[in-house]
Each structure stands twice: as structure tokens, then as C-alpha cells.
Structure 1
């Protein structure tokens, strides 16, 4: 898809703005540092979606080997579509692009975590074929 491309470090400012829409408040330098780590690791991919050369969405993917499955797992770490262009097909295009990439890599499944309060996002994921699992555990370190 012409609107989707690999992210690069110059996207850090716009990615920071998109994360702010979800309540994550960080500096551009913080995001640039994290983005550099992701872009330097072959198990991660970061894509952006542009409209008129303006980044309006980004997604991070992590590919990991799972010992009990034939294929890798693909985990969506963060996926944000600018609130001004939601429900216009951007999210669907991004998710389908990443699903196709995961299939090409021979992945067994695609997973993600979505905060309980993001009800609209949950409806989107269900339309895209994801199933909800009720248990998620985390430990802050």
C-alpha cells in the first residue's frame, strides 16, 4: 500500500503526538530513543501511514519464536490512528498490511493488548477477526 511505509527516526515527533492521544506523555527525544532501539532490532517492525505526507497512524510489531508453535507470534505493541481520521479505513489498511506480513513470515498468530477502556478499539479488533481472552497479567518492575 502506497500510504504505508517503514518508520524512521524523523517520525518521532508525530509518533509522540499520536501517543499523546492515548495518554502517553513523553518527549520527542524519549520517543526517538525508543524508536532507534526498535528500528535497530530485527525482531521489530514499525510502520506509519501517511495522508498527504503527514503521518496519521503508526503500529509496532514484535515477532517472537514460541516453543510450542510451528510459527512465530506477532505482537502488536502499539497501534494508534489519529483521532481526526478514525473510521476512514486507515486502521483497517494498517492492520491488514501487518496481518499479510505476518502470514508471509509464517506466523501462527497475531496478538495484542488493548486497555479495557478503549471500547471503540475493541469493536475494531473484533471486526478484524480478533478474539478476546479474559486474563492478562502484568507485574510492574
Structure 2
């Protein structure tokens, strides 16, 4: 079953709890890595600093990597299917991993509402943070925590 949620005021405390629970599980650890894609032209003089700011901003919402195992308890961090109660904050357990067309791992989750579904990466976008010039970073990541 699903263990009751523990609430923390800081993300680093949440991350620590999640890492400790994951370490208790047997089995292979699977890492879901984010894919970044730059769209539109970026000003070349500030390219490195702008990219860094944008990536750091996105990492708060969608981390560079998510570490999971079969049996890991997870929370959905995006609305997936409101009609089936798969919304931001829905909780479930990873029951297996499938592979997508790029041979990347895709977790299959049994949610507490009874729905079993795969959780494919979703897109998040950050635009140039200083507002000067075009450019945006698009990150694809599995919306689980």
C-alpha cells in the first residue's frame, strides 16, 4: 500500500526523505534523465550565462534526473488526466518500467485511485530570464517526485 505523506517545509528535506526510502528498496535503480532542447536564436555574448540561469530555473520544477525503483512511492507533479483523477499531487507506486521508442525508461505507476498508467516525459519551457532577446529552453522530464 501507499504510506501516508510526510510534509516538509523545505525541498531538501523532501529529497532526503525520498532518497532514504528509495535506498530501502531492493532492485535496480532506474534513472530518468531530462532532455534539454534550445529553441530560437540566443544572443551569443551571453549564451553560457543565460543557458545556465534557464537550466537552474527549470531544475526547480523538473530535475535533471529522477531516480526510481519498482516499489517506489511517487507523486505526480503535473495534471495528466483530470477525468481519471490523475492530477498534480496524485500518489502511487511504480510497478514496472517500459521503454519508449528512444529506449528510455518509462515508469508504469499504480495510483491510489486505482488507475495503472505509464508516465511519459512532459515538456516545460523557460524563456530568456533577463528579457533581452529571443530564446527558450525546453526540458522533457518524467513528471514524478
Normalised to the residue count of structure 2, the TM-score between the two structures is 0.28
Higher relative contact order (CA 8 A, sep 6+): 2
Task: Tell me which protein shows more helix as a share of its residues.
Answer: 1
- Between Structure 1 and Structure 2, which shows a larger proportion of strand residues? 2
When normalised by structure 1's length, the TM-score is 0.28
Specify the structure having the higher radius of gyration (Cα): 2
